[in-house]
Amino acid sequence: MTTAEQSYDVIVLGAGSTGENVADIVVKGGLTAVLVESELVGGECSYWACMPSKTLLRGSEVLAGARAVSGAAAAVTGEQDVAATLARRDSFTSNWDDASQVEWVEKSNIALVRGKGRLDGEKRVVVAQADGTELVLTAREAVAVCTGSRAAVPPVDGLADVAPWTPREATSAKEVPGRLLVIGGGYVGCEMSTAWQALGSSVTLFQHNERLLPHLEPAAGDAVEASLRDLGVDVHLGVEVQSVRREGGEVVLTSSAGEFRGDEVLVAVGRAANTDEIGLETVGLEPEGYLDVDESLQVPGTPWLYGVGDVNGRQQLTHMGKYQARQAGAAIVARARGEVVDLSDWSPFVATADRRATPSVVFTDPQVAAVGMTAAEADAAGLPHRVVEYPIGSVAGAAVHADGYTGTAIAVVDTEREVLLGVTFVGGGVAELLHSATIAVVGEVPIARLWHAVPSYPTISEIWLRLLETYRG
The rounded distance, in Å, linking the Cα atoms of 82 and 64 is: 15
The rounded distance, in Å, linking the Cα atoms of 223 and 279 is: 45
DSSP state of 310: G
DSSP H or E stretch at residue 436: helix 434-442
DSSP state of 165: B
Q: Of 163, 150, 161, whose CA–CA distance to 278 is shortest?
A: 150
Residues annotated within a binding site? 54, 117, 147-149, 184-191, 270, 310
DSSP state of 120: -
Listed as own residue / partner, the contacts of 300-306 with beta carbons closer than 8 Å and 24 or more positions apart are 303/335, 304/122, 304/123, 304/139, 304/141, 304/142, 304/143, 305/142, 305/143, 305/145, 306/22, 306/142, 306/143, 306/144, 306/145, 306/331, 306/332
Q: SS3 of 268, please?
A: coil
Task: Give the gyration radius of the chain's Cα atoms.
Answer: 24
Residue 255's DSSP bridge partners are 241, 258
The rounded distance, in Å, linking the Cα atoms of 455 and 351 is: 31
DSSP H or E stretch at residue 59: helix 50-67
Neighbours of 254 (CB within 10 A): 17
Residues annotated within a binding site for FAD? 54, 117, 147-149, 310
Dihedral sign of CA atoms 345, 349, 353, 355 in order: negative
Q: How many residues does the chain have?
A: 473
DSSP string, 407-430: -EEEEEEETTTTEEEEEEEEETTG
Q: Of 48, 75, 146, 60, whose CA–CA distance to 363 is shortest?
A: 60
Q: Of 469, 359, 358, 372, whose CA–CA distance to 420 is shortest?
A: 372
DSSP H or E stretch at residue 306: strand 302-307
Q: Of 354, 381, 359, whose CA–CA distance to 431 is shortest?
A: 359
Termini Cα distance of the chain: 75
Residues annotated within a binding site for NAD(+)? 184-191, 270
Q: Of 227, 231, 180, 230, whose CA–CA distance to 206 is shortest?
A: 180
The rounded distance, in Å, linking the Cα atoms of 92 and 80 is: 18
- Judge contact between 37 and 52, C-beta under 8 A: no
